[in-house]
Amino acid sequence: MRIECPICGERDRREFYYQGAAVMLARPGDAATEAEWQSYLHLRENPAGRTDELWQHEAGCRAWVVVTRDTTTHVIATVRLATDVAQTREATG
């Protein structure tokens, strides 16, 4: 699989480090139960199909990118800098 880094251009996926789904998780508060912490720390969705993933270009420019990819075919739709995605989310609420 090849990933188009917005800074460095197309690179082999082995230059990147996969961090997981690019979603904001709500951290449990001080009064959280053990089950709530268990869920927050260990339970994640594993969707089949199009999903946003967080990757770091570890062996290159070290940028964090959000890769929108189909997990069943590995076809990449978009690659955006994570900072751009965060700014867009903040602007849209």
- pTM of the predicted model, to two decimals? 0.78
Which CATH class, in words, describes the domain spanning 2-27+37-92?
A: alpha beta
Closest to 83 in 3D by CA, of 60, 64, 56, 61: 64
State mean pLDDT over 57-62: 96
pLDDT of residue 22: 87
State mean pLDDT over 13-23: 92
- Residue 93, pLDDT above cutoff 80: no
- Residue 18, pLDDT above cutoff 80: yes
- Residue 70, pLDDT above cutoff 70: yes
Q: How far apart are CA 52 and CA 72, in angstroms?
A: 13
pLDDT of residue 4: 96
State mean pLDDT over 63-87: 92
